[in-house]
Structure 1
Amino acid sequence: MSTNTVTIEKKITGYSIQKEKAETEVQTEPTEPAIEHMHENVGRPEILLGSTYKIKTPLSDHALYITINDIILNPDTNHEVRRPFEIFINSKNMDHFQWVVALTRVISAVFRKGGDVTFLAEELMAVFDPKGGYFKSGGRFMPSLVAEIGDAIQTHMKTIGLVKTEELSGIQKQILAEKHAEYEAERGKKSVEGEFPESAQLCMKCYTKAMILMDGCMTCLSCGSSKCG
């Protein structure tokens, strides 16, 4: 066993015994709490933030009210997020009661599973009614009532920042507005504000009846989609 020898060249004037720090005295840097993610074991808080969306379709005399409640994860931290937790659908029309109740339970279960739930809105919006869909005010086509429920969910996800909103740039909006005005001037008929020409065709990208022929090319006045690229 080797030992290290220390040579003292100066006169000793005093001495003291150095004590080792106890484990309780060792300073440790404060650790941040673990980031909480959405999963099925997250308990339901007593208070949830909610938003209600009204759906009025030509398929029924009574409106449909969709309420989506959100949970706040990691409150008062840099990781604070708002996520959908549950959904309720209510209406005076009892014709669709069974499948509406089943749909709300399945959607709420998917919300509580966590992860990427944005696919849910896309799947619902892709449901087509074999009897045919309907046009909403403004000329937007809804392929089914289920699709409109999905549209309301997607709108809510955009509101809370879960889905990014794809908006046209200022230049694109200006160009579409000019095309709209030019189209109306050529035909000598002005449409109601917010509406598109009656002769417009359905755009298969945004499902809005806003596709017109301009400069020899079919162009959508709503989303800017063009068959000429």
Structure 2
Amino acid sequence: MPSIEQKRVIKIDQAIVSYKVITAQDTAEAAIKAVEHNQEKRAEPCLETVHENLSRPDFLMGSTYKIKTPMSEHALYITINDIVLNQDTPHEQRHPYEIFINSKNMDHFMWVVALTRVISAVFRKGGDVTFMVEELKAVFDPKGGYFKKGGKFMPSLVAEIGESIENHLKMIGLIKNQSIDSHQQKILDEKRAEFDRRSATQKELVSSNPVNNSAVNDDNGGFPANAQLCNKCHTKAAILMDGCYTCLSCGDSKCS
């Protein structure tokens, strides 16, 4: 007789409506399915991810971005090094691993070193690091921002560092480019063509009066010198046409 410890007691809380006797064939089929499931699981590739214990390789791929602000005569050079995950496989992906900022201007040395260490730590933590772009771009200088070459407004130097990181993440595929849809692009092209026609008719007037507001300013990214700041892309590219401001850079329009 089996002991009390060997007996399996099952408490039935509901009414029995059907039953099935498990045969040896059912047991064999279940075993075969379990083996097949384990084989499929082993066949799945074990993808590499960035984590805190990931050791630094001897070689890293990197890109350097130059920042030249009107606030300093010396430029900043931002270098972002990437680690390549799942190399030589269909799942190959570059992930930022560390960042360095160098400049002849040592006025901001302490906070630049602190910023690079914090950003590098976030990179090596792994996961989604794209959130940091918006955090950096939202930093405003209490002394006021500046317009970079091309007419785009930067609220602070930290914000432009964030934009450089954003450009890098777009380049390696972690952030997708948000392109203008074909319909909006067609309207934008028509408005730009109309502006070019108007500018051509005023060419003689512009040559006799270089400060004419309808001229195109090369320092403003090729946009009109009298263009207003776009609230969406923060570029001085919004022009008044047909009683409505339309941005020639991102296509944003109050009329749409």
* TM-score interval, smaller chain: 0.7 to 0.9
CA distance in 2, matches of 1:192, 1:103: 35
- Equivalent in 205, 212, 224 of residue 239 of structure 2: 212
Which digits, 9 at most, give the CA deviation of each residue in 1:34-78, with x for residues without a partner? Answer: 211111111100000000000000010100000000001111222
Secondary structure of the residue that 2:136 maps to in structure 1?
A: helix
How many residues of Structure 1 are paired with residues of Structure 2 in the alignment? 202
After TM superposition, the structure 1 stretch with the greater mean CA deviation from structure 2, 192-201 or 126-135, is 192-201
Letter in structure 1 aligned against 2:55? G
Which digits, 9 at most, give the CA deviation of each residue in 1:91-131, with x for residues without a partner? Answer: 00000000000000000000011111001011101111111
1:164 maps to 2:176: yes
Gaps of 5+ in 2: 1-38, 203-213
Q: Shift in Å at residue 174 of structure 1?
A: 4.4
Secondary structure of the residue that 1:100 maps to in structure 2?
A: helix
Q: Shift in Å at residue 216 of structure 1?
A: 1.5
Q: How does 1:62-211 map to 2 (within 5 A)?
A: 62-169=74-181, 172-186=184-198, 188=202, 189-192=214-217, 194-211=221-238
Secondary structure of the residue that 2:43 maps to in structure 1?
A: coil
CA distance in 2, matches of 1:70, 1:105: 15
Write 1 or 2 for the structure with the bigger share of helix: 2
Q: What percent of counterpart residues are identical?
A: 68
1:228 maps to 2:255: yes
Query: Contact 1:184–1:190 at 8 Å: present in 2 too?
Result: no
CA distance in 1, matches of 2:181, 2:50: 34
Q: Shift in Å at residue 33 of structure 1?
A: 4.4
Letter in structure 2 aligned against 1:200? A
Gaps of 5+ in 1: 1-27
After TM superposition, the structure 1 stretch with the greater mean CA deviation from structure 2, 193-202 or 102-111, is 193-202
Tell me how large the CA RMSD over aligned residues is.
1.8
Query: Contact 2:230–2:238 at 8 Å: present in 1 too?
Result: yes
CA distance in 1, matches of 2:65, 2:86: 27
Specify the alignment match of 2:65 in structure 1. Answer: 53
After TM superposition, the structure 1 stretch with the greater mean CA deviation from structure 2, 36-45 or 50-59, is 36-45
CA distance in 1, matches of 2:185, 2:147: 23
Q: Shift in Å at residue 185 of structure 1?
A: 4.0
CA distance in 2, matches of 1:65, 1:153: 12
What TM-score, normalized to structure 2? 0.74
Q: 1:175 to 1:190 in 2, by over 3 A?
A: farther
